[in-house]
Amino acid sequence: MDHHVSTFDGGRENFGEAAAVALDVAPERIFKTLVIDLSAGKGPKRQLAVCVLPVTHQLSLKKAAAAFGASKATMAAPADASKSSGYIPGGISPLGHKHVLPTVVDETALLFDTIFFSGGKRGLDIEMNPEDLPRVLELSFADVLAD
C-alpha cells in the first residue's frame, strides 16, 4: 500500500491548518477524524462511530447519523473518543483504534489523488490515496458535510 508519513510541529490548536501549512498542501486535502455517538442517550453503553472529513468543513450530525443508519448522532465526549480510539483529541487517526468502530469517510476524499489524515498523534500525518483506504479499514464513503 503506497503511503507517505510526514512529521511537523502540530501546534496546540487548529491542527488541520498547521498540517496544511507545514505540508504545503491545500487545506481541503487535510482530513480530520471525529468520533460520534449514535446511542442517542439510550442506556449507559455508547454506540460510537468514526467520521473522516476535510478540516475545512464542519460535520453534519444529521447526515452522519443517516450514513450509519441511525436516527440521531451527537459528538462523542472527548474521554469516550480517547478511550475507544487510544488516541488523544487532535491526534485521532482513522486507523489502529483500540476498538474497531464503523467508519465513514466523506465522499470529497475521492476528488483527490491523495489525502492526509492523522497518524495517531499531533504532528504526524499519513498521505494515502483515498481509494486504498478500504483495503486497510472497513469503511464507506458518504456525504457527511454540513451545508
The grid coordinates listed for 22 are 507545514
The b-or-e profile of 21-33 (16+ CB within 10 A means b, else e) is ebbebebbbbbbb
| Predicted confidence (pLDDT) per residue in 106-132, tens digit | 999 999 999 999 988 888 899 999 999
Domain 3-142 of CATH type 3.40.50.720: no
| Residue with more model confidence, 13 or 67 | 67
* Rounded mean pLDDT, 34-41: 87
Q: Please tell me the distance from the alpha carbon of residue 46 to that of residue 127, in angstroms, as a whole number.
A: 31
Distance of alpha carbon 23 from alpha carbon 133, whole angstroms: 21
Contact 60, 74 (CB under 8 A): no
pTM: predicted TM-score of the whole model, two decimal places: 0.91
The helix/strand/coil state of 134 is helix
Over pLDDT 70: what percentage of the chain? Answer: 93
Q: Hey, where are the domains in the chain?
A: 3-142
